[in-house]
Amino acid sequence: MMSTLQDFLSCSDPNVRNVLLGTILLSTSSAMIGVLALLKRKTLISDAIAHAVLPGSCLAFLLTGNKNSIWLIISAFITGWLASIAIDQITTHSKIKLDAAIAIVASIAFGLGSFLLSMLQHNGQAGQGGLKSFLLGSAATLLQEDVVALLWLSGIIIVVLILFFKEFMLIAFDRLFAQSIGLPIKKINFLFTSLMVLAIVIGIRAVGVVLMSAMLITPSTTARFWTGKIAYIMLFAMLIAVFASLVGTFISYTIPSMPTGPWIVVIMSLIAYSSFLVAWCGRIFKKKRINIS
């Protein structure tokens, strides 16, 4: 076991290096976006966007005939953005509530994506192999060019989040005050939604449509159990994401039949449940101390 761990940490295998670096970049950027989405109460919207990415990826392959990463990302980004616009329009111009609008858009998008995926797999078109991995992801198939793309896109997300962190926080906590001091709220919201869609799009290859929303939501909600300060929530969420990526990738490296993406989500979920139990026991112990005193 120790020799296996040493081989894994040495990253001498290029495949392990690609998978580990790719999942760490993905989980870190997703965790940062997830914290802001949690504060802005947009966590459920990420699930609808993740489901809307699937038809975009299938349409890109249908139009181009190959699995070019650039076209897949562009097409998935467009359909993800259309999903967020659809949710906003439904809630604005009808009596349908946000949760129902998210369910409607997510179900329609996933149904359309499944239909296109099934059509592509049965039409005998060359090069369509591997498209089914968009459902649950396939981090083990990440290539060096995929990691380079992840590096650039994750870097863009992290840099923009750092530059506009104060503006995002101000709008999340006090929208009226932000409007009164002249902040361009619509433009900043547009920027944040674009970053969230981009974070989801780049993660589909690794963890898939079904699990991508968990990559955004789980680290941020788990960190919230341990601290109330925004900076610490962001830090803890990133550490949880990195730790889950390391453990999930190591499990997949040790047992090749185990998929990397789902195991990363499982580790995140175990940390989340453990944090909930610790917080719950802490509240009970605190109440008993108060009653005794």
> pLDDT by residue (tens digit) across 99-111?
888 888 888 888 8
Residues 47-58: tens digit of each pLDDT: 888 888 888 888
Residue 279's pLDDT is what? 82
Q: What is the DSSP string of 144-161?
A: HHHHHHHHHHHHHHHHHH
3-class DSSP assignment, residue 282:
helix
Residues 147-198: tens digit of each pLDDT: 777 788 888 888 888 888 888 888 888 888 888 888 888 888 888 888 888 8
Which numeric CATH code is attached to 2-292?
A: 1.10.3470.10
Residue 126's pLDDT is what? 47
User: How far is residue 127's CA from residue 184's CA, in Å, rounded to a whole number?
Assistant: 45
User: What dihedral do alpha carbons 138, 133, 191, 177 form, nearest 10°?
Assistant: -80
Predicted TM-score of the model (pTM): 0.82
Q: What is each CA distance from 160 to 155, 156, 195, in whole angstroms?
A: 8, 6, 8
Assess contact for 218 and 144: CB atoms under 8 A: no
Mean pLDDT of the chain: 80
Contacts of 15 (CB under 8 A, 6+ apart): 140
